[in-house]
Structure 1
């Protein structure tokens, strides 16, 4: 797992974040973004940390290095790669997401005199993965004119102070910006502490507040690494996915027909992608039935909406191992090319059993047989393949399913199971 740190001044690396990332055994790759040094793309990147620096950012104008950095951040936001922006990095993140940065006066390149202000958490912080449980109010260092962040629509304010309505924020589910200069250089921090001497050193108070956040971010990066890789892979391919695989639609229709669904029932397509199975599911459950498509990648669901799949059922962004469904509410689950790519297939199968009604059907499908897929990837068919019948059957049995059909043909793979309870 690799974390890219975009550094804007040699002396301003985020030591607390870096130490937490290193403790989590994440591969750290530092780039001197302030000098135009950037990664070529986000391939293999599990998170991005953007540090601060002395130069201001403005929403208008153009600078090649800054424009390239903003484009990289837009790519991370689109692919839902976790991002942590600190100081100037938070401003860059806000602008990349469609927000703005406004300075109160002057056009100099450096912030003004350092000081301190009381930072108060916002109600949204209580349920935030990083900020939940932090102190409601603590002092933090600030610069004289370090800019006012104006967030894009949909972003959440997590903390504010008397000088900044937006002191910390979250964009989407994977990007955080912290306006206070956590990685401030020694001279600026000393100035902040001098101004705050009456109430105690700002640095130690900030450390108490900031303390758990680096480790939480590192834990979040590690915990989401598999999802991050999945989203990065499919986001790049989403726009062309339907056209590339449209020829497989008849095979999907034939597979859905073997589920035995009836009118008025509910059916879900897990890992639905562009929703290729959803029209067939709708045809079997009828207008009075329910069809839902779940996928982890926002770009895939966007593509599904664009080609009209939202007219056949609901499209939801969700982890297939943590479905937002009531117990025993689903009559049929369709999963194409999914189970053997999950890191914890037993956990997923138990979750699918939880949401399935008694006698519910599970159909595992792929529009190519196991041998054909192995040959396509230039490897022999492995006896450890999780979809091999001797491996699949006991896993299904252990998670509440009973295998009723196993059909591993040259042109398709199909395994049908019913809920045993």
Structure 2
């Protein structure tokens, strides 16, 4: 779900909303001006769009604190964000920058200049060096450390920027179409009067702008769609990372018992895939010894931060990576341990093939969960799902197709465990 935040009746997403709809992305609108409550968490979000408004980002207004909290949660979870005008200023504040009054109102059509960084940006890559856009603001912002400036102009130097790799702010109104320009003029007639012809010239201005405007928003929609599953996973686990160890403090012995079933040897190279806070890493290190290699990979930065806090980096190397596109050469590993990850990847079949690619012939895959499938289903108040990828009727053929041979399957009341061996294909040598 993409959350859209609107601060005023006339300041909707316009062309941006059309691009999201064309991409088939579901949206949910929080109309703060109508008293809608801001979401408490970012758990179910794959994107966040924050529109403009007449209020000041540097002054308190109803819902400001909750909005900044949602923006910070989105930044922490690497959720794609797009802020427009007031939304851009709030994004800057949420990231540690500051909003402030500008040097008088900037209203009407005028150029912005793209910076060198914009040429390599995921959204602005094809935008020409100069772009004539609609301005309608009197405030500005100071960017946080590390932000990338993408567009500027002499009077208001911060016009577009990126924070990290997935959050963008635009001071100007790139979302504007003809109805938006008319709506702004109706809502703010005194400001419109300072820019004669702003409405009348809109068709001609938009005829030139539309191609670039639509390209930026199409790329944003594609960016959101391509990362949706990863975003949802990060959003879910980011908020829970700080208390993960406390919630599951008694699981350590069960993880160690599962690792024992892998039959590892000193010197083996093993990966804890979807390692979370790294609860399996000490047991894996104990099995492979000082001469072995232990890696822990997770998609959620907050989980790896929690692992560092627990000192798990002493037992293995922690890496941030996508489980379906591992940054490892073919046949690197002797074994993979994975607890609960299969239910969180977008395509289990693709994941299992990738895990087979990085594992040497005869290598081991152990899928584990400290709760059985029936126990987990009951805890969440739902029946067993026949389409669950961990159901034996689904898992066995999926493993076989991906290059694994399932040798052990246990769906017990208080644990789930499946052990498989990497099948050597023609021409591959088995591990020693």
Bin for the TM-score computed over the shorter chain? 0.7 to 0.9
Deviation (angstroms), 1:380: 4.7
Task: State whether residues 52 and 89 of structure 1, in contact with CA within 8 Å, keep that contact through their aligned partners in structure 2.
Answer: yes
Contact 1:116 1:192 in 2 (8 A): no
Matched residue, 1:287:
290
User: Could you give the per-residue CA deviations for residues 107-154 of structure 1, whole angstroms, max 9, x where no partner exists?
Assistant: xxxx2443412321433541x33233333432333357542x322223
**Structure-2 change in CA distance of 1:9 and 1:411 (3 Å):** closer
1:308 correspondence with 2:311: yes
The answer for the alignment partner of 1:116 in structure 2 is: 110
Instruction: String of CA shifts for 1:228-287, please: whole Å, max 9, x gaps.
Output: 332232223222211221211111111112223233332211111111011111222223
* Aligned-pair Cα RMSD in Å: 2.9
Match for residue 367 of structure 1? 370
Q: In the alignment, which residue of structure 1 is the partner of 2:394?
A: 391
**What are the Cα deviations for residues 193-241 of structure 1, in whole angstroms up to 9, with x where unaligned?**
959x99x954333322222122222233333333333223222322221
- Which residue matches 2:272? 269
1:105, distance to aligned residue in structure 2 (A): 3.7
Distance (Å, rounded) in 1 between the aligned partners of 2:338 and 2:312: 17
Q: Is the 8 A contact 1:122 1:159 kept in 2?
A: no
Bigger drift between 404-413 and 302-311 goes to 404-413
- Partners in 2 of 1:66 and 1:358 — Cα distance? 56
Deviation at residue 296 of structure 1 after TM alignment: 2.0
1:140 equivalent to 2:133? Answer yes
Alpha-carbon spacing, 1:323–1:135, altered in 2? closer, same or farther (3 Å): farther
Give the conservation status (yes or no) of the 8 Å contact 1:116–1:202. no
**Residue matched to 1:402:** 405
Q: 1:73 aligns with which of 71, 82, 85?
A: 71
Please list, as runs of the form range in 1=range in 2, the aligned pairs for 1:187-336 lying within 5 A after superposition.
187=185, 201-336=204-339
Partner of 1:51: 51
Mapped to 2, the partners of 1:96 and 1:10 lie a distance apart of: 24
* Number of the residue aligned with 1:31: 30
Contact 1:20 1:215 (C-alpha < 8 Å) held by counterparts: yes
TM-score where L is the length of structure 1: 0.87
Query: How far apart in 2 are the matches of 1:259 and 1:161?
Result: 61
- Quickly say closer, same or farther: Cα 1:6–1:368, change in 2 above 3 A: closer
Distance 1:210 1:415 in 2: 50
Contact 1:269 1:333 in 2 (8 A): yes
Any stretches of 5+ residues in structure 2 without a counterpart?
A: 186-190, 425-432
* Cα distance in 1 for residues equivalent to 2:333 and 2:156: 48
CA contact (8 A) 1:7 1:30 kept: yes
1:84 match: secondary structure: strand
The CA deviation at 1:9 is: 2.5
| Number of aligned positions between the proteins | 411
Q: 1:56 to 1:374 in 2, by over 3 A?
A: closer
1:166 maps to 2:166: no
Give 2:4's aligned residue: 5
Distance verdict in 2 for CA 1:141–1:325, change over 3 Å:
same
Does 2:177 align with 1:156? no
Q: CA distance change for structure 1 residues 12 and 409 in 2, over 3 Å: closer, same or farther?
A: closer
Mark the runs of 5 or more structure 1 residues left unpaired by the alignment.
Answer: none
**Change in 2 beyond 3 A, CA 1:377/1:104:** closer
8 Å Cα contact 1:5-1:51 kept in structure 2: yes
Change (3 A) 1:393 1:32: closer
The structural deviation recorded for 1:35 is 6.1
Q: State the secondary structure of the residue aligned to 1:222.
A: helix
Evaluate the alpha carbon distance shift between residue 114 and residue 380 of structure 1 in structure 2; reply closer, same or farther with a 3 A threshold.
closer
